[in-house]
Each structure stands twice: as structure tokens, then as C-alpha cells.
Structure 1
Amino acid sequence: MPIQPADVLYTAVATAENGRDGRVATDDGTLDVVVNPPKEMGGSGTGTNPEQLFAAGYSACFQGALAVVARREKADVTGSTVTAKVGIGKNDDGFGLIVEISANIPNVDGETARALLKKAHEVCPYSRATRGNITVTLV
């Protein structure tokens, strides 16, 4: 169920200038970066790009969800890392995204790690927002 405006605890605000070949900055100035298309898409590749920004946000959010799930399950995820690979490519509607989430969880066995990833994928706000819209693979 979607949250309601009254339930919002924090709102991030970012403004882009010149789309994928310009600049994006947050209203508080903590993020201010040049964005350029990657070389693979005909750009200069000298700045970051929306896919890298999405991967950064998704991996951080997923790591947080993993920690929440681990606390519930009494699992030790100390020293774990989460990596998000975000691909962009052409589809029937123009362009689409695909995501691979991988995690290194050194203090649990493989079966426990897979179970934690699945549960984190259920509660992560990025996973919930993209569910049914893009393919997300857990590794």
C-alpha cells in the first residue's frame, strides 16, 4: 500500500539541468554533480550518469533493508556489502532498466544469505517501487 503525504518522514529534492548531459544538484547542496551519457551510449562519459546514481541509491537502500531483516532474523551481517548493477537498454517502449543486486555476507552460510536477500528484497523501498516494472535479479 502506498504511503500517504502525512506519513512522509523526509523528502529529497534534486534538480537536473540539461537532462542526461548537464548537471544535477540537491536543494541542500550536498550533491552537485555533472552528468553525461556514458561512452557506450555516445556520450563523453566524463561525469556520472543517472544509472550510476540509481545504482548507488539502490545499493545503499538495499543494504539498509538487509540490516533490518538481519536484526529480525538474528543474523550477523557485519562486514557485508551490497552491489547494484543497473543496466539500460532499448525495449519496445524506448529504453528500460535491468538490475542485479549482489551481496557479500561473510558471517552467514549461503542458504541463510539467499534467504536474507529475498526478505530484504521484499522490504527495500527501491525494490518495492520497481517491482513489476523492471527485472531485478538477486545474486
Structure 2
Amino acid sequence: MEKHSFQLSLDWKGPRTGVGQLETKTLKTQVSVPSELKGPGIGTNPEEMLLAAAATCYTATLAAMLGFNKIEQVALTVKSEAIVAVAQSGALTYEKIIHRPHIVLAAGTIERTLSLVERIAKKAETACMISKALAGNVELELDIKITLAE
């Protein structure tokens, strides 16, 4: 089995309301607790980064699966949303991720292809590595939109 290692460095200054400098091989950004959670809201935050990981993985998996099935999309856009609950105690729970893929297919695509694309969009969610890692801890939801190009 082939294995890969991904690494990052995070230099944090201050308490919970501090700011960190995160660096990976290809990404450099500031991170902090978001303002919605009473943080400074500087740079990105863990909530957005988890959402970004889930959305990127889902989108790449969906695109790959469409390609494997020789379905060419004219456009593929995914908008994603995370729901984070804050208990009165202040404890946070990452409750749900909702992906809203919009797949645009070539004009004249036949009806059975539309059905196949919907099944592929659903399967991509369970095939994605990040979704598998979140399974049982974070609810995953899809709101699929498939249209034909004009």
C-alpha cells in the first residue's frame, strides 16, 4: 500500500483569542477563532478549514466519478455550508455539512444520463475520504441541482 504524508506548521500567539500562522507546502494563512464564536476573526478558522476539506474532497471525487463514467460536465460548482452548534456551556459541536452541487451538462443530454449523474453525485459523498473520516460524527447532506446548458 502506498502512503503519503501531509504536514503543516502552526505558530500560535496568545490565548484562545490569539492568532496563528499556519503553513503547509502550498498554503500560508492566518488562523483564529471566528468572530461568530467570540474570537478575533482574523484569517480563516478551523470550522471553515474542515468545511473546505470536505467540499474540496467531495468536488474532486464527484468530478473524477463523472469522468470515469464518461460524463462531461459543462460546469461544476459546489457551495457548501457547515452548521456548528454552541451549547450554553460553550461547547461546540460540528453538526452538519450541506453540499449543494450544481452540475451543468451539455444541452441534449438524455434523461437516463440525468438519473445516472444524480446517483453519481450521491455516491461521491460516501466515496470521499474526508466524508468517510467524518461519518458517524458529522451529518452529511446533499442538495443536488442538475441542469442542461443552453
Q: Do Structure 1 and Structure 2 share a fold, with TM-score over 0.5? A: yes
How far apart are residue 22 of structure 1 and its match? 2.2
Please state how far the C-alpha of 1:78 moved relative to its aligned partner: 3.5
Q: TM-score, normalised by structure 2?
A: 0.73
CA deviations on 1:23-66 (whole Å, 9 max, x unpaired) are: 242353x3221112222111222321111122222222111100
Higher-RCO chain (CA-CA 8 Å, sequence separation at least 6): 2
State the match for 2:61 in structure 1: 65
What percentage of aligned pairs have identical amino acids? 22
Q: Alpha carbon RMSD of aligned pairs, Å?
A: 2.6
Picking from 6, 10, 17, the partner of 1:12 is 6
Q: CA deviation at 1:135?
A: 0.6
Structure 2 unaligned blocks of 5 or more: 144-150
Q: Whose radius of gyration is greater, 1 or 2?
A: 2
1:105 is paired with a residue whose SS is strand
Paired residue total: 132
Structure 1: segments with no counterpart, 5+ residues: 1-5
1:116 is matched with which residue?
120
Change in 2 beyond 3 A, CA 1:79/1:130: same
Tell me the amino acid that sits aligned with residue 93 of structure 2. Answer: G
Partner of residue 22, structure 2:
25
The secondary structure found in structure 2 opposite 1:26 is strand
